[in-house]
Amino acid sequence: MISRAVIYARCSTEEESQKDALKKQVEEGKASVREKGWTLAGLYVESRSGTTTKGRSEYNRLYEDLTGDKFDIIVIKSQDRLMRNTKDWYLFVDRLLTEQKKLYIYIERKFYSTDDSLITGIKAILAEEYSRELSKKINLAHHNRQKQNGPAVLTSNTYGYRKMPDKSVVIVEEEARIKRRMYELCAAGFGCRRISSILKNEGVAGRNGKPFTDSAILRMIHNPLNMGTVVMNRLHYDFETKKVIQIPKEEQYVYENKVPPIVSKELWEAANREIARRAEGINRSGDRKRGRYKGKSQISGKLFCGLCGNPYYRRTRRRYKDRLVVYEWKCKRYLETGRKTGRIKGLPLSEVQSEEAEGCDNVHLDEEMLYQLLVQICEKRYMPDKERTVCDMVHMLKIVLKEKDYRQEIDRKRRQEGKLMRQMDILAEKLLEGVVSDEVYQRTQKELEERLENICDEIKELERQNAKRSENVLKERIAYIEKMLQTMGMIEKAVAAEMLENVDKIWIYPEYMEIVFNLPETAEAENTDISVQEYGNRMKIEYGNLFNYRKKKEEERNAIIRMMQEDPCITAREIAEKLMISLSGANYRIGVLKSEGKVKFNGSGGKGEWEIISPV
């Protein structure tokens, strides 16, 4: 049977500058396969070097394929082509032997065997040490170039600039015009999301052909490179931890006018001041948490838009009437491009977006209302025995609280008291037997009596303090906790949290949601006020206009029109009472109906009748 061989090729760090090094290595591997008469089953060609396996997609693919039946032999140039990390080498060899595959090193013209484990281990250690020293030398040389104001280090993806063969930097004018527009819009008061929408509607795209995201625009505006200032020594790659470390600002090197500026210093500062002003407005209360995974919710990563497929992100705002913080979940596409149909009111997106803008019209989710909905479903669906659960918890609390009294300490002191009394009895026996002298007996007996007296005093104090613990206080405390469990919905919230542990995704639609469980199938649903349909491992929950604020307001105003139709003399106070809202809230809604030309009041001084211009 002809063996199936695959080739793994990777350039070392010092070979990366050689244009044909990787191609030559692949050809050498193919020649070895032909020489041995094997069948070439595949190639794993790595385009980047690296001391570890992290970020090396081809190596990781090879490592995973070891467990399959795709090949019998792996052909490599040398051991350090696989890795220069001792731990990774032994992990690779362990899987290689477990899966009964072979490793052929063509530069040595031999197969790896278990007899070579010691020497190959030493080679791996030496290769790792070599990489460590090489990393130090590269970092030191790089640091010295930065310290001595060497050439600016730009990646090939730096938008608006191009690095020439002589290491000089030139402006790409077509891209620079787009960057200047970003800065001008930002300085004029537009946020990055709106700037992204404007550029998208104008047909502007990045080098990859995709529209600029708001996060990419924010990074560009923050970058001082665009006003000609280069900041060096910002980051450092640590070989030991394999992590990129942020260098403190005081250790960084800042060189002004090092590259041609795309925008003036004044425009750069104006745009960044505007960003800082907006950020200060958002964070004035200190409630919004920034940074990855901070304040992560139980439903993070589970909510997805049923209209466009994007995830939902959590956002905060302050409610106008009482300034309380409200948490809302919004579609990612909406956050980047706004509404598909444009807003009814508000200058920003309705003016900068065209009809072709691909926004999202899905509903926003009030977090509190969403949890209430889930709690309601769980309460009916799982039917938890709330009374029994509360009783069990109260029983455990009674045990725990009682264990916190002084009884255990008193018992411990009692045992010490008994031990001292036994020692005094033994001492008396030794005196009678003539083992100890009268002088030793008196001295020891006095010490024991003093210790016994101290312990007796401690026991009395503990018993006194224990007596202070009133049974009524304990009962009141347990009763308070029991009331909290009964009235604050803690049991229901715990059940909802448990359900969310088994939820894979929640697809959000304007009038319903679909919950996908990571279980084989769901339990049968009980009757609820909300329409719930279950099939397989999915649950469909219809909530109508619960989260559709526009339709809710429209229905509320239609209800006011119907009240006016039934009673043309109805007052705003009576409307407020029927809708269970404040008088100012009723007056506001009536004012909207008047401004829309749907109703008209014929009269003055509070006397008159309502005329319905647009009946429901």
Collapsed DSSP state (helix, strand, coil) of residue 46 = strand
Q: Are residues 124 and 8 in the same domain?
A: yes
Q: Are residues 127 and 168 in the same domain?
A: no
pLDDT, position 556? 83
Task: Please report, for the domain that includes residue 559, its CATH number.
Answer: 1.10.10.10
Q: Looking at the domain assignment, is residue 582 inside a domain?
A: yes
Q: Looking at the domain assignment, is residue 212 inside a domain?
A: yes
Please give the structure tokens belonging to residue 385: 């025995």
Q: Are residues 106 and 210 in the same domain?
A: no
pLDDT, position 116? 56
- Summarised one tens digit per residue, pLDDT across range 134-192 is 666 666 666 676 676 777 767 777 888 888 888 788 898 999 999 999 999 999 888 88
Show contacts of 276-279: CB within 8 Å, 24+ apart.
278/191
pLDDT, position 230? 81
Q: Are residues 60 and 181 in the same domain?
A: no
Q: Which residues contact 464 (CB under 8 A, 6 or more apart)?
A: none
- The answer on pLDDT for 126 being more than 60 is no
- Summarised one tens digit per residue, pLDDT across range 397-456 is 666 555 455 677 788 888 888 888 888 888 888 777 777 788 888 888 888 888 889 989
- Summarised one tens digit per residue, pLDDT across range 474-500 is 666 667 666 666 665 566 667 677 777
pLDDT, position 14? 46
- Summarised one tens digit per residue, pLDDT across range 57-114 is 888 889 889 988 899 999 998 877 776 666 677 788 888 888 888 999 898 888 887 6
pLDDT, position 436? 76
Range of the structural domain that residue 202 is part of: 161-283
Task: Please report, for the domain that includes residue 11, its CATH number.
Answer: 3.40.50.1390
Q: Looking at the domain assignment, is residue 269 inside a domain?
A: yes
Rounded-to-integer distance, Cα 293 and Cα 300, Å = 9
- Summarised one tens digit per residue, pLDDT across range 252-300 is 778 888 888 999 999 999 999 988 887 775 554 444 444 444 446 778 8
Per-residue DSSP letters for 530-552?
SEEEEETTEEEEE-TTSS-HHHH
- Among 71-75, 301-305, 320-324, 590-594, name the one with the lowest average pLDDT: 320-324
Q: Are residues 166 and 111 in the same domain?
A: no
Choosing from 220, 251, 283, the residue where a domain stops is 283
Q: Are residues 122 and 182 in the same domain?
A: no
DSSP state of 115: G
Q: Looking at the domain assignment, is residue 156 inside a domain?
A: no
What would you measure as the largest C-alpha separation in the chain, in angstroms?
Answer: 121
Q: Are residues 8 and 127 in the same domain?
A: yes
Q: Looking at the domain assignment, is residue 64 inside a domain?
A: yes
Q: What is the pTM of this model?
A: 0.42
Confidence grade of residue 236 (pLDDT, cut at 50, 70, 90): low
pLDDT, position 525? 46
Q: Are residues 109 and 168 in the same domain?
A: no
Consecutive H or E run containing 170: strand 169-171
Q: Looking at the domain assignment, is residue 376 inside a domain?
A: no
Q: Are residues 27 and 122 in the same domain?
A: yes
- The answer on pLDDT for 242 being more than 70 is no
Q: Looking at the domain assignment, is residue 452 inside a domain?
A: no
- Summarised one tens digit per residue, pLDDT across range 19-72 is 477 888 899 999 999 999 999 999 998 865 554 555 678 888 898 899 888 999
Choosing from 283, 308, 341, the residue where a domain stops is 283
pLDDT, position 522? 46
pLDDT higher for 247 or 460? 460
Number of domains in the chain: 3
Q: Are residues 61 and 167 in the same domain?
A: no
Choosing from 249, 283, 317, the residue where a domain stops is 283
Q: Are residues 25 and 107 in the same domain?
A: yes
Average pLDDT, the chain: 77
CB-side neighbour CA atoms (13 Å) of 258 = 20
Whether 363 and 552 have beta carbons less than 8 Å apart is answered as: no
Task: Please report, for the domain that includes residue 194, its CATH number.
Answer: 3.90.1750.20
Q: Looking at the domain assignment, is residue 505 inside a domain?
A: no
DSSP state of 474: H
- The answer on pLDDT for 13 being more than 60 is no
Nearest residue to 83 via CA among 42, 54, 47? 54
pLDDT, position 264? 92
- The answer on pLDDT for 311 being more than 80 is yes
Rounded-to-integer distance, Cα 51 and Cα 446, Å = 74
- Summarised one tens digit per residue, pLDDT across range 514-565 is 888 875 544 444 444 556 666 667 788 888 777 877 777 788 888 898 899 8
pLDDT, position 355? 41
**Section 185-200 average pLDDT:** 87
pLDDT, position 234? 67
Q: Are residues 107 and 59 in the same domain?
A: yes
- Summarised one tens digit per residue, pLDDT across range 352-411 is 444 444 678 889 998 888 888 887 777 666 555 656 666 766 666 666 555 455 677 788
Whether 431 and 440 have beta carbons less than 8 Å apart is answered as: no
pLDDT, position 38? 93
Collapsed DSSP state (helix, strand, coil) of residue 235 = strand
